[in-house]
Amino acid sequence: MADASEVHPAVKERIRRNRVLGLSAAAVFVLDQAVKWVLTYILQLPQRLSIEVAPFFDLRWVKNPGVSMGFLTADSELGRWLLVLLTAAISIFVFVWLWREKRRDDALALSLVLGGALGNIVDRIRLGYVVDYADLHFGDIHPFLVFNVGDAAITIGVLLLLLRALLTRAPKAPREEV
């Protein structure tokens, strides 16, 4: 067996970087679960149903049995566990992509997606639904769905990946004249 000092420097760097990014994903997961715990047990949001925080922001108790925007609603135990399996498979894909990713900005975006997804998976396993609570609105106009920290992290991570992909395209090779 090779001594730890014999590990290639590039491998050491990847392990160090991935530990940091793993901590980012863990931080999103812990924050997501901590906020849900405070809202559920300290602020008693399930009993109160809604707390006005500002004229444009309420804490609103929502049990989300689906993924988002009403897609893939799990209305049975089988549906619930199939949704857990689907989101777990996606999370494994994101984890592998994160492990292999060389760009720090993409890796950070992936860690946001992974941390948020894991928080929502834990809710679905423990409760059978995802706890959503953040309601941004303008008077009676609700342009966003009620969401949580995990959802926000997933959305921000995906948007960062899309922006980077759209804004940093590789230059096209020059055309050859025939």
b/e string for 164-178 if b means 16 or more Cβ within 10 A?
eeeeeeeeeeeeeee
Question: For the residues of 64-119, what is the DSSP string, one character each?
Answer: E-SSSTTTT---SHHHHHHHHHHHHHHHHHHHHHHHH---HHHHHHHHHHHHHHHH
Q: Which of 106, 132, 135, 140 is catalytic?
A: 132
To the query of whether residue 132 is one of the catalytic residues in this protein, the response is: yes
Residue 120, H or E segment: helix 104-127
DSSP 168: S
DSSP 6: G
To the query of whether residue 151 is one of the catalytic residues in this protein, the response is: yes
> Which residues make Cβ contacts (< 8 Å) with residue 104, sequence separation at least 6?
17
State the residue for tokens 């160090």: 16
Task: Please tell me the distance from the alpha carbon of residue 95 to that of residue 99, in angstroms, as a whole number.
Answer: 6
Active-site residue set: 132, 151
